[in-house]
Amino acid sequence: MDATLDLHPADAFIARDHKLFIDGAWVDPREASDPIPVLNPATGAVIGHVPDGGARDVAAAVAAARRAFETGPWPAMSPSAREKLLLDLADLCEAEGETISHMEVRDNGMAMMPAGMLAPVMAAKTFRYYAGWVTKIAGSVLPVDQPPFSQSKAFAYVRKEPVGVCAAITPWNYPFMMAVMKLAPALATGCTVVLKPAELAPFSALFLAELCQRAGVPPGVVNVVTGYGETAGAALSAHPDVDKIAFTGSTEVGKIIVRAAAGNLKKVSLELGGKNPFIVMKDADLPLAVATAAKAAFFLQGQNCQCGSRMYVHASLFDRFVADLSTAAQAMKIGDGFAPGVQIGPMISADQRARVEGYIAAGEAAGAERVSGGRALARPGFFLEPTVFARTTHAMSIVREEIFGPVASVMPFDTDDLDAIAALANDTTYGLIASVWTKDLSNAIGLSHRIKAGNVAVNNHGMTDITVPFGGYRQSGWGREFGPESLEPYLQAKTVTLVT
């Protein structure tokens, strides 16, 4: 009897003997290697294995993606047929929503409500958004004025052509959506893809490959190679036949990818880290700001590029803000993401928790006041209390570096000078997002325009939507995902000049 019959479909999928998805088929790695064990971070137990793909597998996947890009059904497919394919993928995400949510919670540790539940909803929305674009990717017709050809005899048109074979390298913090955010614009523009998910939470990317197969995506158009960053990821970013790389992850690895991409000057787009300011002006709606601050700092255990980890609060509100945020943090329910009411799941791994504990210790050693939290839970799994620090300074590593954990630093300011407040926000190498809490329109717009970040939120934090561009200034990245801008990195312009 098949022991997996009694399992939840997500657990049955996780328990499978996984293979790489190359050229429309599930294949073993080309070189013998031990499969990579994958843990449930809520228990620390191994829940499954994925293949340790290497350079030869990456080469096979890139070759398949190249063939699919140049010949066969994919380049011949009409825009409306491609649109239908993306709509079918959206429907499949919804139909398999329960499996996808469950898989994300099991593999990543995120709480089912709302993160796990939202994953398939956002994925379906993303596929539909890009489905809408497929039939609207248009070039332009331009006049040319180049003697001896008169304007009436000469003109140029610009075609938007797909850039080609795209590599996608994704992180573990919101795994299914990270993969969808790369796949959907690539497919919408007619590119082909080799995806390497993070080895810490790889299952939903393999499930996405299965959904592509079920939707009828032609062989080679989407390939998934699981493996380690230093091997599979490095081979993919250096591969001479990859035209473009879309990376989401740390700024440190982003720089490695840029160097690797230099060999063939592949196009690079980067969604990197953040150290995002959360600015509470003296006229802010304090209860709303505090409630949102707790989510901003602790959603996904702070393992979130939008984490609001530097909080600047007007001195007149500071003590109440710190006290209320600490109360809110202590009231958050920590536990297995499947348990009802849980808001804080485990950290992704023992290493990640130890790294964050290192930051907490460094903060205390540097004189920061730990107001609440900061301890690991004495139970299996990689749980860590949400942590609030006060009396932090910009000299401290907890304020300067992206912790990628549930740690907020709250600092007072006592000025109305927008330049001075913006200077605090901008005292970072990052520039992903920021939020401003005020009822004053001049303050809201004045600060929004002064802050060096790709996304500034007024009276909300991190309200992203598929319709609006998202991405970083400075060392938070290159390019934008979502919104019309997100198509550009997957396209290139070809100008055709004609004389009649």
Kindly state the tokens that stand for 288: 């709303």
3-state SS, residue 301: helix
Kindly state the tokens that stand for 291: 């409630």
23 binds, among Mg ion, ligand NAP, none (CB under 5 to 8 A by kind): none
How many residues bind to ligand NAP according to rule CB under 6 A?
31
Q: How far apart are CA 310 and CA 276, in angstroms?
A: 6
For ligand NAP, the closer of residues 149 and 478 by Cβ is 478
> Minimal distance in Å, beta carbon 251 to ligand NAP?
6
Cross-strand partners of 416: none
> Minimal distance in Å, beta carbon 98 to ligand NAP?
24
Choice among 271, 385, 402, 481 that is catalytic: 271
Compute φ and ψ for 57, nearest 5 degrees. Answer: -70, -40
* Strands 267-271, 276-280: pairing kind: unpaired
C-beta of residue 418 within 8 angstroms of C-beta of residue 388 = no
**Given 62, 201, 293, 384, the residue binding Mg ion (CB under 5 A):** 201
Kindly state the tokens that stand for 283: 């006229």
C-beta of residue 294 within 8 angstroms of C-beta of residue 329 = yes
Pseudo-torsion of CA 249, 253, 259, 265, nearest 10°? -20
C-beta of residue 438 within 8 angstroms of C-beta of residue 281 = yes
201 binds, among Mg ion, ligand NAP, none (CB under 5 to 8 A by kind): Mg ion
From 31-39, 74-82, 474-482, 490-498, span contacting Mg ion (CB under 5 A)? 31-39
From 34-42, 72-80, 87-95, 178-186, span contacting Mg ion (CB under 5 A)? 34-42
C-beta of residue 39 within 8 angstroms of C-beta of residue 14 = no
Question: DSSP readout, 439-468?
Answer: S-HHHHHHHHHHS-SSEEEESSS----TTS
Kindly state the tokens that stand for 496: 């055709």
3-state SS, residue 126: helix
**Given 237, 292, 301, 372, the residue binding ligand NAP (CB under 6 A):** 237
Q: How far apart are CA 308 and CA 407, in angstroms?
A: 9
CA atoms within 13 A on the CB side of 44: 10
**Given 122, 168, 305, 322, the residue binding ligand NAP (CB under 6 A):** 305
> Minimal distance in Å, beta carbon 303 to Mg ion?
12
For ligand NAP, the closer of residues 99 and 309 by Cβ is 309
Cross-strand partners of 146: 149
**Contact positions with ligand NAP (CB under 6 A) in 134-163:** none
Active site residue 305: yes
C-beta of residue 70 within 8 angstroms of C-beta of residue 220 = no
**Given 52, 57, 107, 324, the residue binding Mg ion (CB under 5 A):** 107
From 92-100, 140-148, 247-255, 337-345, span contacting ligand NAP (CB under 6 A)? 247-255
For Mg ion, the closer of residues 129 and 382 by Cβ is 382
**Given 228, 338, 473, 478, the residue binding ligand NAP (CB under 6 A):** 228
Q: Looking at beta carbons, which residue is closest to ligand NAP? A: 229
Active site residue 402: no
In single-letter form, the type of residue at position 469 comes to P
Binding mask 160-199 for ligand NAP (x = CB under 6 A): ---------xxxxx----------------------x-xx
Choice among 96, 305, 357, 385 that is catalytic: 305
Tell me which residues touch ligand NAP (CB under 6 A): 169-173, 196, 198-200, 228-230, 233-234, 237, 248-250, 253, 256-257, 271-274, 305, 402, 404, 432, 472, 477
Tell me which residues touch Mg ion (CB under 5 A): 38, 107, 201
Active site residues: 271, 305
